[in-house]
A and B are shown apart, each in its own frame.
Chain A
């Protein structure tokens, strides 16, 4: 059964069609990727799924129920969490506090309860703290919980963002370029972490990624967007050889020129920044 199903989703900004009839299905406990050149509409798609934008046409189903038109916080409560392309932690809060904020939907204490702080509230806070510490360890940040999140190292900040997203106990986790700006070792760690999210916690994962080694290494299914439209979908192997995809990245006619032998993503450099595969 599909966790997430997008049916002919179209999003317009004025005259610009950022997404054009995008169909996408994310299977339960899958790791799927969305790739595409800059400006292809990948993050816009994430924003539509999380309720930050509302698509003009089409429908988005979470476990068979439509979530179009629901507000951001409602969608989170239904089980979708995300991280951001440019890290957006709560900078003036500690790492633990960031995770505690992520737990918000599962805690119940209100205004009066917080003031009186009865036994039930105290127990809830203690349990929340215990879970926050457990999540901190899960993402490999033990011992750094009381640091201001802005003082954490770059890679740690990315991991904390994943930890914060996990705190809402999502069914589906959307990762927007989780390895952007990371060195090879950090990238490898993050790939392992993503696998563990699925294998140990059973979370379905949909990610946007530019590093081809990551995309090809962990995705089970890849969707390619270009100018807001889906141009290909398939297994990593199929996508690598798809002439449409190569053209989207390199420009028209490139597929023929490069045809024999087809460019292998396996040999591609780690980041697309200095790779010949970007359109910049």
Chain B
């Protein structure tokens, strides 16, 4: 051990302190207490427990990983000690809370928190339990290292899924309860909050076995399929997904459809910004402006309250999209020569200008000022007015389908390659004959088009538009979901939107910690998985035809001449 750069006991103390500090932080900001009310396994483990002990678990693993691989039991011991150090930090907080009234400074250092930390027991017994639980968490993390890779992956995956399923219990119960016959099963798996203990064990084992089996088959060749079979399979898969997507709102009900609609609007914006930032590499921090322009144009043209033009949604739609595209080009023109940071700042300003204009007294007769625009038309198809969340879902879905198709087609086109070339090296791209002016403007215009479309649906959904709906945070969320999903990746946008917009709405408790979690997630992503959750894939373009004899004139350059 002496040869190691850091003695193992120092490692233990350091990791333990870090883990303890992380647990301390989320306790003091109030997350632990709020989430202690949401059980993952009913009355056994709450989300608060998971949050509290996750860092200790991780650092227990880290200690064992850093210290030794030769003496496994020693590693577990070190993990235990790391957990204990973390537990001591938490225990110190509890003790301090007994002596001093921490609430004058930390409003969330409430009796409820201390009660949760001491497992609802008396102080001395509770503290002992806390220390013990922390040590066990650290030890568990460390003993993870003892498992063979296959088992380790299995356990980690199964535990992750159990946590996730417990978290989104409400959604799942709503969905599954639609099918009468499975109701007893639902009651068996789920409890009033989270999973029942048997349910959790059942899911853990089921998923564990499944994953264990799949892990073993990794790298093995799949069943032989002819080209037609593979094609038929693909069509079948797409068909099933399409049918599911069409049925989704009736399965989910109004409340979850509302969440789904919000996610959909963000996906639509994400697809647009993904072209600007992901494909063309133009960092746009004022993207919400186009969303606003789409919404406001729709409002101006359809609202009888303002009385400019009482168009229907469909009549106004082309004008709203045109307005977005033109504003995209107008923003693009002055920033053509800017790169990176400068571009980001200018676009940031642009977004704010648009919002402030909508808010201004000067334009109040036209845009409604702080009052916004009301009575915006809803889209009608025949005699049917798309009014409910479930009906609007189909409009959003159609919008996403069109936007996704356009983005997908553009990505592998001459224009998509030009965007990527400009992103990689603008000077060289221009030297390749790419006109940077038109190419960049097309990126801005296409991106603005999607955001504008999203804006019109947003306005029609609320039948109103207020300036405060279009603040900087919208731009930041859209940018974040692209980064989390994977820059330049189209499925990444969907994954990112589900994770950053869908999950926080499902877990209402998140609301006040939303941006704290965003920050943590972004930092973690950049450190651990900078390519995103669903990274962009490259199409294979070169057919592998080396076996073919090369024609004479094409013989490789490596033929000696002299």
> Smallest distance from the beta carbon of A189 to chain B beta carbons, Å?
5
The answer to whether B409 touches A115, judged by C-beta atoms less than 8 angstroms apart, is: yes
Within 8 A of B (CB), among A85-125: 88, 90-97, 100-102, 104-105, 107, 109-111, 114-117, 121, 125
User: Which of under 10, 10 to 19, 20 to 34, or 35 or more describes the interface residues of B?
Assistant: 35 or more
Taking CB atoms, residues of chain B closer than 8 Å to A191 are 561
Closest to A94 in B: B538
The one of A114, A142, A195 that contacts B409, using a Cβ cutoff of 8 Å: A114
Partner of A138, one of B433, B538, B544, B554: B554
Taking CB atoms and an 8 Å cut-off, the chain A residues in 118-174 that contact chain B are: 121, 125, 129, 132-134, 136-140, 142-146, 148, 159, 164, 168
- Provide the residues of chain B in CB contact with A116, threshold 8 Å: 409
Roughly how many angstroms separate A138 CA and B551 CA in the complex, as a whole number? 11
Report whether A84 and B541 are in contact in the complex, using a CB–CB cutoff of 8 Å: no
Complex CA distance for A93 and B281, rounded to whole angstroms: 13
Name the one of A92, A109, A146, A192 contacting B557, with C-beta atoms under 8 angstroms: A192
Instruction: Determine whether the beta carbon of B542 is less than 8 Å from that of A73.
Output: no
Using an 8 Å CB-CB cutoff, how does the interface string of A159-201 with B read, 1 for contact, 0 for none? 1000010001000000000000000000011011101100010
B414 interfacial contact with A, CB 8 Å: yes
Tell whether, in the assembled complex, residue B429 and residue A117 are in contact, meaning their CB atoms are under 8 Å apart: no
Are A189 and B558 touching (Cβ within 8 A)? yes
CB within 8 A of B561: which of A90, A102, A192? A192
Q: CB of B69 within 8 A of chain A?
A: no
Q: Please report which residues of chain B, range 548-562, place their CB below 8 angstroms from some CB of chain A when the two chains form the complex.
A: 550, 553-554, 556-561
Residues of A within 8 A of B409 (CB): 114-117
Interface size on A, residues (CB 8 A): 60
Chain A positions within 8 Å of B420 at CB level: 90, 92-93, 97, 101
Complex contacts, A104 vs chain B, CB 8 Å: 414, 417-418, 421, 432-434
A219 CB–B CB distance under 8 Å:
no
Asked if A142 and B538 make an inter-chain contact with CB atoms under 8 angstroms apart, the answer reads no
Asked if B246 is an interface residue, CB under 8 A from chain A, the answer is no
In the complex, are the beta carbons of A192 and B559 less than 8 A apart?
A: yes
Report which residue of B406, B417, B550, B561 has the largest number of chain A beta carbons within 10 angstroms of its beta carbon: B417
Q: Within 8 Å of chain B (Cβ to Cβ): is A82?
A: yes
Q: Are B442 and A111 in contact (CB under 8 A)?
A: yes
CA distance A183 to B540 in the complex (A): 31
For window 513-561 of B, CB contacts with A under 8 Å fall at 538, 540-544, 546, 550, 553-554, 556-561
Whether a CB of chain A sits under 8 angstroms from the CB of B330 is no
Given A140-B557, A146-B541: A82 in contact with B442 (beta carbons within 8 A): no
Task: Determine the chain A residues whose CB is within 8 A of the CB of B542 once the complex forms.
Answer: 94-96, 133, 136, 142-146
Q: Which residues of chain A from 37 to 69 have a CB within 8 Å of any chain B CB?
A: 50, 52
B332: interface (CB < 8 Å):
no
- A193 and B557 contacting across the interface, CB-CB below 8 Å: yes
Given contacts A101-B417, A104-B414, A114-B416, contact A91 B424 (CB under 8 A): yes
Contact of B305 with A by CB under 8 A: no
Query: Is A72 interfacial (CB-CB < 8 Å)?
Result: yes
Interface residues of B in 379-434 (CB under 8 A from A): 405-406, 409-410, 413-418, 420-421, 423-425, 427-434
B554 touches A137 (CB 8 A): yes
Chain B residues contacting A189 (CB-CB under 8 Å) are 557-558
- Known interface pairs A140-B558, A188-B560. Does A76 touch B433 (Cβ–Cβ under 8 Å)? yes
Residue A252, interface by CB 8 Å? no
A77 within 8 A of B: yes
A180 to chain B, nearest CB (A): 17
- Point out the residues of chain B lying under 8 angstroms from A100, CB to CB: 414, 417, 541
Check A92 against B556 for contact (C-beta < 8 Å): no
In the complex, what residue of chain B is closest to A138 when comparing beta carbons?
A: B554
Give, as a whole number of angstroms, the nearest-CB distance from B385 to chain A. 31
- In the complex, are the beta carbons of B415 and A114 less than 8 A apart? yes
Nearest A residue to B416 by beta-carbon distance? A114
Query: Does B134 have its Cβ within 8 Å of any Cβ on chain A?
Result: no
| A200/B553 contact (C-beta < 8 A), A96-B542, A117-B409, A146-B540 known | yes
A272 at the interface (CB under 8 A from B): no
- Which chain B residues lie closer than 8 Å to A94 at the CB level? 538, 541-542
Chain A residues within 8 Å of B418, by CB: 101, 104
A279 at the B interface (CB under 8 A): no
Give, as a whole number of angstroms, the nearest-CB distance from A126 to chain B: 11
B424: chain A residues within 8 A (beta carbon): 90-93
Task: Give the 4 A-B CB pairs with smallest separation, nearest first.
Answer: A145-B542, A114-B413, A105-B433, A76-B433
A–B Cβ pairs within 8 angstroms, 6 of them: A84-B428, A92-B420, A92-B424, A93-B420, A192-B558, A192-B561
Given A90-B425, A115-B406, A125-B413, output 17 extra A-B contacts at Cβ < 8 Å: A76-B432, A90-B420, A90-B428, A97-B417, A100-B541, A101-B417, A101-B434, A102-B432, A105-B432, A105-B433, A111-B446, A116-B409, A133-B542, A138-B554, A142-B542, A146-B542, A168-B432
Chain B interfacial positions (CB closer than 8 Å to A): 405-406, 409-410, 413-418, 420-421, 423-425, 427-436, 442, 446, 538, 540-544, 546, 550, 553-554, 556-561
Query: What residues make up the interface of A, taking CB atoms closer than 8 Å to B?
Result: 50, 52, 71-73, 76-77, 81-82, 84, 88, 90-97, 100-102, 104-105, 107, 109-111, 114-117, 121, 125, 129, 132-134, 136-140, 142-146, 148, 159, 164, 168, 188-189, 191-193, 195-196, 200
